[in-house]
Amino acid sequence: MNIKKSFPAIVGSSYSQFNIDNSTFNNLILTNGLFGDQSNYTINNSHFDKIQNNSKSLLYLLNNDFTITNSIIENISCVGDSGDSAFILYETYDMKTSLIIDHTDIKNCISNGPFIKIFGMSNNFILENSNVSNVVAYGSIIENMSEKSSVKMSNMNFNKNINNNKFDCGTIHFKNNVDFYLYDSFFTHNQCKSYGGAM
């Protein structure tokens, strides 16, 4: 399916709560992302496969909670402007919201910027019981530029990921005030064109 409209492909509603279960999103070519940015989303037991996105992000989430669990994300191509295209673009203001990825496999994806980009005032980021492998990004695979962020990574496998941007350090990059917790995780065979390896 090739969708060239200027609004999200699936949902454009604001200030809503969406629960998405047992769903498959595949073989899509998008120009403006999948969902609207101003709602809370909970995605469970779902599959994202063979999706190409030409905008800033496939999932742009603005000052709301987002949770994805028991899901598979694979063969995603974020091919927007160089250095400025992501799978998840998570922006927060003064409310402390949470981005949670749990029991999820992310594999064989490319991005023309950081694959997951987090920024804004204050947030929680949790990545646990998950695998991130064979992701190639023009930037860090995970970039958190928030002014204040609480980050928890546990029971995670992070391997064979590549940062192809020689001006950005690490495949995981944190900046500013970060409260960071890492437990029982494995980082193997990650590459960065600049300084740093996994972090």
Kindly give, in sequence order, each residue whose CB lies less than 8 Å from that of residue 67, ignoring residues fewer than 6 positions away. 41, 42, 43, 98, 99, 100, 101, 102
Q: What is the pLDDT of residue 10?
A: 62
| Mean pLDDT computed over 175-191 | 94
The answer to whether the beta carbons of residues 89 and 56 sit under 8 Å apart is yes
The model's pTM = 0.90
| Mean pLDDT computed over 8-29 | 79
Q: Which two tokens stand for residue 174?
A: 């944190």
- Closest-CA residue to 192 (of 144, 138, 156): 138
The tens digit of pLDDT for each residue in 51-103 reads: 999 988 999 899 999 999 999 999 999 998 877 789 999 999 877 899 999 99
Q: What is the pLDDT of residue 56?
A: 86
The tens digit of pLDDT for each residue in 100-147 reads: 999 999 999 999 999 999 999 999 999 999 999 999 999 999 999 999
The answer to whether the beta carbons of residues 171 and 143 sit under 8 Å apart is no
Q: What is the pLDDT of residue 106?
A: 99
> Which run of H or of E encompasses 59?
strand 57-62
| Mean pLDDT computed over 155-173 | 91
Q: What is the pLDDT of residue 93?
A: 85
What's the pLDDT band for 5 if we cut at 50, 70, 90? low
Kindly give, in sequence order, each residue whose CB lies less than 8 Å from that of residue 64, ignoring residues fewer than 6 positions away. 38, 39, 40, 41, 97
| Ranges of each domain in the chain | 17-192
The pLDDT of residue 198 is above 80: no
Measured CA distances, 15 to 48, 61, 146 (Å) = 24, 12, 23
- CA–CA–CA angle 76, 77, 78 (5° rounding): 115
Identify the sign of the CA torsion 75, 151, 144, 33.
positive
pLDDT mean across residues, the chain: 89
What's the pLDDT band for 6 if we cut at 50, 70, 90? low
Q: Which two tokens stand for residue 58?
A: 């496939």
Question: Pick the residue with more confidence: 75 or 198?
Answer: 75
Distance of CA 102 to the CA centre of its chain: 12
